[in-house]
Amino acid sequence: MRYKEINIFQLMKDQGNLTKVWIYSGYETTNDPYDHTKDITYNNPIAIKAFVTDQDFSSLKWKYYGQIPYESKKIVCEKKYENLLKLARKIKIGEDNFIVYKDASKGFVMKKEDVYIIAVLEKVIL
């Protein structure tokens, strides 16, 4: 018996649960090599659709205690956007700005599944 594959993103889109997320890549230029001042230039954004949730207080307290702000988000998006999220210099959801959270060993906090990834976004003030 063969089962029909279900596209979870199509189901969430049909129910109106997906949010538009703007992903900005960019590059740094060093203004003064002695003072180490840098400017970030953002490229044009790429819009993706993702399921966005607030990071639970309990997971912030027990998993990332004191490391990321309480207004952080968790997004679920298609696996094809993994490299785009790793290159992101800024991620905009609504009026708030985020970056993909990196742990102490500079690894990205992303959980990879078969067809989607879950990424933890840290709120930043630019």
Q: What is the pLDDT of residues 67-91, one digit of tens each?
A: 666 778 889 999 999 999 989 999 9
CB-based contacts of 71, cutoff 8 Å, min separation 6: 54, 96, 123
Percentage of the chain lying above the pLDDT 70 cut: 79
Alpha-carbon torsion 56, 54, 83, 49, what sign?
positive
- Asked which of 8-17, 60-69, 74-83 is least confident by mean pLDDT, the reply is 60-69
Sign, CA torsion 70/72/75/79: negative
Question: Sorting pLDDT into bands at 50, 70 and 90, what band is 93?
Answer: very high
Please report the domains of the chain, with CATH numbers, ordered by start residue: 8-124 (2.40.10)
Judged against a pLDDT cut of 90, whether residue 49 lies above it is answered with yes
**Is the pLDDT reported for residue 60 higher than 60?**
no
